[in-house]
Structure 1
């Protein structure tokens, strides 16, 4: 069944904590200018555009939903619940901080039919949490995650790569701890330096250096291999492109790319093909029959994978569109040896290649 999301952005007029990467200004009282009427209007605008056989989800994005004034939470959720009760909407999702969850909040959210809560964890390394001014430690995350799962609500976790004091080792360690918490889904974001944040100040003072795009790709491909092998759904990699999310506008530095996930997955395919070519002593060419949706990932951004194969390995890389399942590849080596593989097996091999 197709899944469709009705996004409702709930920006805060203040937040319970000022993280170093965020530019929300703290004021007295935590509120939002989004009203129940806004929620209703957004839902009504989206519904006619969605196929009747789709599974529809209302998703409250934009901040720490459970940190908003409780009466406002109830007001916004009451509208969403009406559509669930009518059978027009199947799920209600929200994101929040790990230290803004307790049993009382969860009981209220269950009354309003909330089915998925994503925790903005960012990192489970204590030094990274302190240097990012997160305002809580790693234990709070595990406690909140267990409370959510015990309540019957599905758990999602979000992590950031490249925060102050971060490293590849710390990112991988965080991912492994995520796996232990067994979330329903995960999101991975490279850290970007946004205007008017503590991170921009550190950057200006040469006390913070963002990960480069290449560094971020090399780390995130290992995180994806970890999550995929452990059957955890990664629902987003990289920030969604908007008018503001561009270097030179709201973003002043950092590894931003509008197709970040494709860059990561393309390099994973390149690493796997490199392994196959060396293992099988390919000397001439490699032809891949694949679903048309995979062709750009196999060839690489600006043909980077093709160039790599030719320059580094002396092998010509070709693709051929086939009516093949998107999760499968048929690899023909030197016009004779055929390897049929599904993506899951490829991830298992990458898990070993990356020494995870």
Structure 2
């Protein structure tokens, strides 16, 4: 059954933290900017268009949901619970910080039908967390993750490669530590410099240099391959190209691309096929039609770079987990193994 999120973007104006990449506004006396009536209106609008035979979750994104007051959390959750009780909504998911999780909060969230909590972890390197102004240690991430898993709520983890103080090695080590935590899903967001953030000031002072698009793809490739190989659901790679984020001046600098995941997938195949070409010369590839665009790369870049000896054809008898190269069957796991850092 197909899954749909009903996104509700809640800013947490009361957040006491000053993360360098965040441009949340501080508005005295106002906790957030979505009224209960607006929440109900958002749900009603989505229910008019989403297929009846589908799984639907209301997703509170954009802020630290469990950081707002308990009373307001309950008010929001009660609105959604009415739809859950009527069988119109299947659950609730939310994003929050590791240091805003407790057993008491989790008991309340379970009571209202929360099914998934995504933690904005960003990194598991102590120095990177410190330089990014996160205000918690890796130990807090492990503690919060364990509590969520023990509560029976699905756990998601969000990582931000390319934060201040990070390196290829540090970001990959963070990914390996995430594998050790065992989340149900992950999101990978290469760091962007957003207007109105502390990071923007650091960028203009020359104290922070964001990754180029090429660097970001190269850094994310082994992380992506590791998560896939370990069976962790990768639900997003790269920031969603919403209208807000694509407005002039919102992204000051950094590796934004509307099809970032496609670039990563293409690079994984390019690295593998380049090695094959060096050894065997020709590349006669057969693949399921659903894999063709990944193999040829974004806008055919792999086909162009691999040259005239690259030939590809459709063979739908092949599963999505296998391709044929020069008559030899290659598994997806073999391809992933070739790009994971040892």
TM-score by length of 2: 0.94
| Match of residue 282, structure 1, among 267, 280, 283 | 280
CA pair 308-102 structure 1, distance change in 2 beyond 3 A: same
Q: Post-superposition shift, 1:277?
A: 3.1
Residue 245 (structure 2) aligns with: 245
Change in Cα spacing, 1:250 to 1:325, as seen in structure 2 (3 Å) is farther
The count of aligned residue pairs is: 342
Give the unaligned 5+ runs of structure 1. Answer: none
How do 1:275-314 residues align onto structure 2 when only pairs under 5 Å count? 275-278=275-278, 281-291=279-289, 293-310=290-307
Instruction: Answer yes or no: is 1:354 the counterpart of 2:319.
Output: no
In 1, Cα distance between the equivalents of 2:168 and 2:139?
21
Aligned counterparts, 1:54-69, within 5 A = 54-69=54-69
| Distance in 1 separating the partners of 2:148 and 2:287 | 43
State the Cα distance separating 1:324 from its structure 2 match.
4.8
Residue in 2 that maps onto 1:340: 329
Moved more, 100-109 or 11-20: 11-20
The 5 A counterparts of 1:1-356 are: 1-28=1-28, 31-246=31-246, 248-278=248-278, 281-291=279-289, 293-310=290-307, 316-324=309-317, 327-333=320-326, 338-347=327-336, 349-350=337-338, 353-356=339-342
Deviations 1:32-54 (A, max 9, x none): 12122212111111113222221
Deviations 1:96-146 (A, max 9, x none): 011111111111111111111000000010110110011111111111111
TM-score for both structures, normalised by structure 1: 0.91
Contact 1:290 1:328 in 2 (8 A): no
Mean Cα deviation higher: 26-35 or 76-85:
26-35
Question: In the alignment, is the contact (CA less than 8 A) between 1:244 and 1:251 conserved in 2?
Answer: no
Question: Does the residue aligned with 1:149 lie in a helix, a strand or coil?
Answer: helix
Is 1:15–1:27's contact at 8 Å kept on the other side of the alignment? no
RMSD: 1.8
**CA shift at 1:270, angstroms?**
1.0
Structure 1 residue 201: deviation in Å? 0.5
Distance 2:304 2:160 in 1: 31
Distance 1:199 1:232 in 2: 30
2-structure distance, mates of 1:70, 1:4: 27
Assess, with a 3 A threshold, how the Cα gap between structure 1 residues 223 and 30 changes in structure 2: closer, same or farther.
farther
